[in-house]
Amino acid sequence: MTLSVGPVSDSLAAWFAGRGIPALPSEILAIAVVCALPVLGIVFPIAGVAQYFERKIAGGVQRRKGPMVGANGIVDLVCDLLLFWQPRWKRRAFARSLERAPVLGPVLGLVRRWGLGAIAADGVKMFLKEDMAPEGADKLLFFGSTYVALLGSFLAFAVFPFSQSFHMGDPPVAALYLGAVTGLVAVSILKAGWSSNNKWSHFGGIRAVAMIVSYETPITLSIATVCMWSGTMSLQGIVAAQFRPGILSFTGWNLFQSPFLALVAGVYYVAALAECNRAPFDLSEGESELVGGFHTEYSGLRWGLFFIAEYSDMILVGGIFATLFLGGYQSPFLEDRIVALPPLAEALVHTAIVCAKFLASIGFMMWIRWTLPRFRIDQVMNLAWTKLVPLALLCLFGTALTQLWLSGRVPVAPVVHGRYLSAPVVRPDLLSWAISWIVVGGLLAALVVWAKKEGSPKPAQVRKLLGEEGA
Amino acid sequence: MNLERDGDYITLSMGPHHPATHGVLRLEVTTDGEVITACKPDIGYLHRSIEKIAENLEWYQFVPYTDRVDYVCAMNSNHAWVCAVEALLATGAETKLEIPERAQYIRVLFAELNRISSHMIGLGAMTMDMGAFTPFIHAIGQRELVNDIFEKTCGARLTYNYMCVGGVVRDLHPGAEDEARAFLDGLEKVMREFHALITTNNIFVGRLAGVAPVSAADALSYGLSGPNLRGSGIDFDLRRDKPYGIYDRFRFDVPVGKRFAGDRGALGDGYDRFVCRSLEVQESIRICRQVLDQMPPASGKEDDPVGGWCVSKAAQKALRKPPVGEIYFRCENPRGETGYHLVSDGTKVPYRAKIRTGSFCALSIFEKICPGLMIADLVALIGSFDIVLPEVDR
Amino acid sequence: MSSVPSRNPSRGKALSFEELLAKVQEGFPTVKAGSAPNGARWIAVEAASLLEVARHLKSEPSLSFGSLCCLSGVDLLKFPPPAEKDGPASDQLVCAYDLHSVEHGHELRLKVSVPPERASVPSVETVWGVAGFFEREIFDLYGIEFRGHHDLRRLLMPPDWIGHPLRKDYEYPVHYADWELKREGQAFESGPYK
């Protein structure tokens, strides 16, 4: 019996076996590499440097440069270590001369121009800070909550498809598993808030639990809508159902299939922002109100791990959004050519594409953070229960009706995408697609326009502030 | 809502170290979950006994201390003190200080520029407390430009010590007027962007609309003043109704709250105060432009009645023997009314100088209006009253 | 530049000091006018009748003093003896109430004098809410007790502070909590800058 998760792990196991490692260990090693590589090699590093990108995007939105740290300190440190027997001035002269070196020079110039040293500076700072717990804190819960937070996001990556063969597993209930496992974040935040022996952190923890539990419902409803449309709960199956041969592969993406799906994508994105505790839903860490909320008492690397957990949550949520609505790892054009590539090349291209998709999603989330103010907890709950849940239910119902209507008009057949066969799905033909978009989309647009007109008009003074005419 | 339950109440101490209390303010908050049942301000963390120090310094030496009374709008604080002392001198029989025209115009120009920069902090910090960091950065950038102008004239960026009894300490630096005009033009553009970003944002309006509205009677009774009072619908501005200095020479409107948030708002809520403060910035720009148009050119001589900047010798002479008696003088500071109750016993040192500030009175209303709010609303409330602690504690 | 045409909203009738004094003396004959050499004038009220006078000043429509601008305390211990007969009394603690009417535009000052040993004045907190804070501050810094205040405790100084700092005979403490405030060789007394 051979252990395998796909042709990539097979070829990797063969390569290990060719180097003299016995069969079973080489298979296990290959599986470990293939499974762990996406998380450790992609998600973790991105989450680590995301702090820098967040601050740079903040600077961009606010018309300033953002963090600008050159690499002089690190270069000096490395030279001090390598050339420890030289006098100080020689070490420094050598360090400065590296800026004129052929390869290293331009790199250091880039680091200075973009301030990339901030990444190293953040990392070193986090490592060097004192690791302490406040007096009276419940040590087990206090130290354990960081790990549970990381678990909450990394466990979900177990089912996340990075490509046809880069995934840890493809259970038939992946979507259900996702909804179950992302709830761990709520537990970890509650633990962190409670165990800090600090009323403000406690508030942060309670708010987070209320919010995350409330927003589980719209998320689950949106995932259910997509699962219903794609006929399966397996994420690879959902990706496969969005495959279209031809140049314009993006026409198969769920986002464009029906206006109900587009709406439910919006519901999912907003609810996912809340799940990640990102602005405008960052009231559990609300800096202006609760100092640091649940992570007030954490310092150094533990705090850093909370943030890595938050950023990897964002990556996860962006990735799931891409998987459910944007075709997953499929390319928007010429997907059928890419799927026909040899396994390793196909894996690399697909992983790059899905990375691009979730990086775009993260960038959008960061952009939102620096633009919008924060909700209040009752407004957050209001939004979830009185607006998002009914909307998601409406879309679920509407999608079901659309499927029913389409199944009478178009053939219901499974789609073959590389190694995967999707469940039987409806694929709207051009006429049905146009009808559904015009009718439903038009109704919704009319509703929005009517709501805007019915709402309170801006008073003259506010128009004056905005510089509008007629004030 | 039934607030009469026993137990289950959390007592929080919001402050004195807190990002949203705008200084070292401590609020003893008792909450039932997120809803506040009682809120008692506990102040005094920044008490520097400025009033006691005033009894030990001569009249003209006290000006740097007025900077520290409210360092966000130090020029206005200076202006209030020097106008109060000059008014006290004017009540005496002998002493009539004729402040040079140019000094008067410079005073108004700098006071209004400082009003603008103080409102930048007020508005910006309020939005930042609500989670929108970007408008704050825009606003602070404009404040830096004002500080640049002040730095070139008087050397300081925060506590200026620029006005003195009799005028101002030195003339404007060359090019100040052009810089001011350029700043005002740029400010209008930036403020339009600021407001496009935040003022009609649904989340922002939802946070402020209808939250703890202050009725007009309460506003008067609790001593609210400035934009806080006008936000509750009362049309009163000391610059227009009891003008001091040369404010009666300028045309400006006084924005009054009118339930700007529409159906979900109420008259006197935080949104009204926010919009009033924002409109005041526009009115200050208007006043500054009129000042720049009307200002007489510099004559180079210090005590020239038209183009000079200070009658320092006459002032020093007068301050050695001020009239015996008292005066209560009121000025419109960005945060409200700054009043000086000065008691003089005829010596060169004040007998009593009581400083009445807008933030102190605004804080007195907290105990009454906070029950029923949520903690997030409390943060928004402190920001909407634009409370700074140096004014409260002195 | 010409003075601005009347943009002021239509106000009521602003009364002069004599008219205000006459109106107040109608209801409360015991009040007296006081004045200072520089022309400042006020109405001196007995401590016992302060609350009624305050209520009357606020509620009477032609007076309508809805706003207490400033309530300041003055310690007249070191004030030079008055040159005029009806100047401020000496050796007293004085509370000066500066009132203002937005509706009419007139201003008025009330003064209540109390001896330092029995410094007790009725609280006007129920008339003007801001007096809550002002009175706490005066209690803290002058030691005047305000009867009827709902929560009279120190405002600016720490709760366990001894003494009332703004009084003219205040002695600076030598230590507070476990800090020594007086050090060898350090000038301890403050005074006018010479």
Residue B7 pLDDT? 67
Under an 8 Å CB criterion, which residues of A touch B? Answer: 58, 61-64, 199-200, 203, 207, 279-280, 282-283, 286-289, 291, 370-379, 455-459, 461-462, 464-467
What is the extent of the structural domain holding C110?
17-78+85-158
* pLDDT-derived band at B114, boundaries 50, 70, 90: very high
For C82-89, the CB contacts below 8 A with 24+ separation are C83/B324, C83/C37, C84/C35, C84/C37, C86/C32, C86/C33, C86/C34, C86/C35, C87/C34, C87/C35, C87/C36, C87/C37, C88/C34, C88/C36, C88/C113, C89/C113
Mean pLDDT of A298-313: 87
Beta-bridge partner residues of B356: B339
CATH number of residue C54's parent domain? 3.30.460.80
Residues of C in Cβ contact (< 8 Å) with B49: 165
Q: Is residue C74 part of a domain?
A: yes
Q: Is the pLDDT of residue A168 over 80?
A: no
Residue A301 pLDDT? 86
Mean pLDDT of chain A: 86
Q: Which of A355-359, B161-165, B328-332, C187-191 shows the lowest mean pLDDT across its residues? A: C187-191
Q: pLDDT by residue (tens digit) across B250-293? A: 999 999 988 888 888 889 999 999 999 999 999 999 999 999 99
Residues of B in Cβ contact (< 8 Å) with A461: 255, 258, 260, 275, 279
Q: Are B218 and A421 in contact (CB under 8 A)?
A: no
Beta strands (DSSP E) in A283-414 are 412-413
To the nearest whole Å, the CA of A209 is away from the closest chain B CA by 14
Q: Please answer yes or no on whether B57 and C4 come within 8 Å at the CB atom.
A: no
Q: Please answer yes or no on whether B368 and C129 come within 8 Å at the CB atom.
A: yes
Q: How far apart, in whole angstroms, are the C-alpha atoms of residue B242 and residue C11? A: 13
Identify how many contiguous H helices and E strands chain A contains and give both numbers: 22, 4
Decide if B243 touches A, using CB distance below 8 A: no
Q: How far apart, in whole angstroms, are the C-alpha atoms of residue A90 and residue A166? A: 49
What is the percentage of chain C residues whose pLDDT exceeds 90?
Answer: 42
Q: How far apart, in whole angstroms, are the C-alpha atoms of residue A241 and residue A226? A: 10
Residue B95 pLDDT? 65
Tracing tokens 């796909």 back to the chain, one arrives at A6
Pick among 1.10.645.10, 1.10.600.10, 3.40.50.620, 1.10.10.60: CATH of B59-361: 1.10.645.10
Q: How far apart, in whole angstroms, are the C-alpha atoms of residue C126 and residue A325? A: 63
Residues of B in Cβ contact (< 8 Å) with A458: 200
List the structure tokens of B376: 């997030």
Residue A69 pLDDT? 85
Strand order across the C41-44 sheet: C32-35, C41-44, C107-114, C93-100, C67-75
Interface predicted TM-score (ipTM): 0.90
Q: Is residue C64 part of a domain?
A: yes
Residues of C in Cβ contact (< 8 Å) with B58: 192-193
Q: Is the pLDDT of residue C18 over 80?
A: yes
Report the residue from B129, B138, B195 with minimal CB separation from A466: B195
Report the residue from B221, B250, B346 with minimal CB separation from C130: B221
- For chain C, how many structural domains are there in total? 1
Q: Are A52 and A116 in contact (CB under 8 A)?
A: yes
Decide if B29 touches A, using CB distance below 8 A: no
Query: Of B206, B364, B59, which Cα lies nearest the Cα of A378?
Result: B206
Mean pLDDT of C48-73: 92
What backbone phi and psi angles, to 5 degrees, belong to B9?
-100, 140
Q: pLDDT by residue (tens digit) across A317-362? A: 999 999 999 988 888 888 888 888 887 888 889 999 999 998 999 9
- DSSP notation for B178-223: HHHHHHHHHHHHHHHHHHHHHTT-HHHHHHHTTSS---HHHHHHTT
Q: Residue C48 CB: number of other CB atoms within 10 A?
A: 11
Q: How far apart, in whole angstroms, are the C-alpha atoms of residue C125 and residue C132? A: 5
Decide if B200 touches A, using CB distance below 8 A: yes
Q: Are A7 and A343 in contact (CB under 8 A)?
A: yes
Report the residue from B10, B17, B198 with minimal CB separation from A373: B198
Residue C173: CB partners within 8 Å, gap ≥ 6?
Answer: C162, C163, C181
Decide if B292 touches C, using CB distance below 8 A: no
Query: Of B175, B146, B178, which Cα lies nearest the Cα of B162?
Result: B146
Question: What does the buried/exposed string (b/e) look like for A391-421 if buried means 16 or more CB atoms within 10 Å of the residue's CB?
Answer: bbbebbebbeebbeebeeeeeeebbebbebe
In chain B, whose CA is at the least distance from the CA of C138? Answer: B354
Q: Are chains C and B in touch, 3+ Cβ pairs below 8 Å?
A: yes
Question: What does the buried/exposed string (b/e) look like for B31-66 if buried means 16 or more CB atoms within 10 Å of the residue's CB?
Answer: bbebebbebebebbbbbebbbbebbebbbbbbbebb
Q: Residue B182 CB: number of other CB atoms within 10 A?
A: 13
Interfacial B residues in 26-45 facing C (CB < 8 Å) = 40, 43-44
Q: How far apart, in whole angstroms, are the C-alpha atoms of residue B199 and residue B47? A: 35
Q: How far apart, in whole angstroms, are the C-alpha atoms of residue C75 and residue C153? A: 20
* pLDDT-derived band at A440, boundaries 50, 70, 90: confident
Select from A65, A288, A372 the residue whose CB has the most chain B CBs within 10 Å, as the one to mutate to test that interface: A288
In chain B, whose CA is at the least distance from the CA of C133? Answer: B364
Beta-bridge partner residues of B337: B332
Query: Of B366, B359, B365, B34, which Cα lies nearest the Cα of A286?
Result: B34
Q: Is residue C7 part of a domain?
A: no
Domain ranges of chain A: 139-428
* pLDDT-derived band at C128, boundaries 50, 70, 90: very high
Higher pLDDT, A246 or B389: B389
Decide if B377 touches A, using CB distance below 8 A: yes
Residue C5 pLDDT? 34
To the nearest whole Å, the CA of C48 is away from the closest chain B CA by 22
Most distant CA pair in chain B, distance? 73
Q: Are chains C and A in touch, 3+ Cβ pairs below 8 Å?
A: no
Residues of C in Cβ contact (< 8 Å) with B361: 130, 133
* pLDDT-derived band at A470, boundaries 50, 70, 90: low
Select from C69, C111, C137, C160 the residue whose CB has the most chain B CBs within 10 Å, as the one to mutate to test that interface: C69
Q: Is the pLDDT of residue A363 over 80?
A: yes
Q: Give Cα separations from C190 to A65, A124, B53, B56, B374 (angstroms).
A: 50, 51, 9, 7, 46
Q: Is the pLDDT of residue C188 over 60?
A: no
Residue B3 pLDDT? 45
Q: pLDDT by residue (tens digit) across A1-57? A: 566 777 778 888 888 888 888 888 888 888 888 877 878 888 888 888 888 889 999
Interfacial C residues in 115-174 facing B (CB < 8 Å) = 127-130, 132-133, 141, 151, 154-158, 165-166
To the nearest whole Å, the CA of B108 is away from the closest chain A CA by 24
Residue A456 pLDDT? 64
* pLDDT-derived band at B107, boundaries 50, 70, 90: very high
Tell how strand C93-100 and strand C145-147 pair up.
Answer: unpaired
Q: Please answer yes or no on whether A377 and B377 come within 8 Å at the CB atom.
A: no
Decide if C53 touches B, using CB distance below 8 A: no
Most distant CA pair in chain A, distance? 84
Type of residue at C161? W
Decide if B20 touches A, using CB distance below 8 A: yes
Q: How far apart, in whole angstroms, are the C-alpha atoms of residue B169 and residue A264? A: 66
Q: pLDDT by residue (tens digit) across C140-161? A: 999 999 999 999 999 999 999 9
Q: Is the pLDDT of residue C192 over 60?
A: no
Q: What is the SS3 assignment for B79?
A: helix
Q: Is the pLDDT of residue A288 over 70?
A: no
Q: pLDDT by residue (tens digit) across C97-117? A: 999 999 888 999 999 999 988
> HSE on the CB side for A25, CA within 13 Å?
7
Q: Is the pLDDT of residue B93 over 90?
A: no
Residues of A in Cβ contact (< 8 Å) with B376: 283, 286, 289, 374, 376-377
Residue C79 pLDDT? 84
* pLDDT-derived band at C7, boundaries 50, 70, 90: very low
Return left, alpha or beta for B233; rule: phi > 0 is left, psi -120 to 50 is alpha, else beta: left
Q: Is the pLDDT of residue B138 over 70?
A: yes
Report the residue from B92, B241, B328 with minimal CB separation from C8: B241
In chain B, whose CA is at the least distance from the CA of A59? Answer: B134
Report the residue from B51, B91, B346 with minimal CB separation from C39: B91
Q: Are C33 and C21 in contact (CB under 8 A)?
A: yes
Residues of A in Cβ contact (< 8 Å) with B128: 288
Query: Of C171, C191, C170, C173, which Cα lies nearest the Cα of C182?
Result: C173
* pLDDT-derived band at B135, boundaries 50, 70, 90: very high
What is the percentage of chain A residues whose pLDDT exceeds 70?
Answer: 97
* pLDDT-derived band at C194, boundaries 50, 70, 90: very low
Q: Is the pLDDT of residue C166 over 60?
A: yes
Q: Give Cα separations from A394 to A384, A390, C181 (angstroms).
A: 14, 6, 72
To the nearest whole Å, the CA of B260 is away from the closest chain A CA by 6
Q: Give Cα separations from B24 to A75, A174, B43 (angstroms).
A: 42, 51, 8
